Amino acid sequence: MRDIRLGDDIDDFCVRCKRVMNHAVVSVMNGQAAKVRCRTCHSDHDFRHEQAPPPKVDARKAALFNEVLKKVDPEEGGEAAEAAETDEAAAATAETPAETPTAKPKAKARGKK
């Protein structure tokens, strides 16, 4: 394979488009692309070797959130259990027909005033 030169086409993950797109080499260091320009949105960024950046979710926050979710037990009578009971009650009332009579719309009087 030949050395990469300025202006060559190369595939890379675009940070603006959020997908692997065609790029043009903008800068070269040690025979490898250092910076590239997306041919779709024309944004410049470092060459990422077609790899998406890591997600921005903090691993510690996700671990703490999962720990809290494990501690919540619907049988203990917490808010989750109360919410589930109200959902079940609402579903039961939605299945039975309403016993209240429905109001009929009044006919509009058409005449000269």
Single pTM value for the model: 0.48
* Domain-wise residue ranges, the chain: 9-46, 54-87
Q: What is the 3-state secondary structure (H, E, C) of the chain?
A: CCCCCCCCEEEEEECCCCEEEEEEEEEEECCEEEEEEECCCCCEEECCCCCCCCCCCCHHHHHHHHHHHHHCCHHHCCHHHHHHHHHHHHHHHHHCCCCCCCCCCCCCCCCCC
Average pLDDT of 1-7?
Answer: 82
* pLDDT tens string 16-43: 999 999 999 999 999 899 999 999 999 9
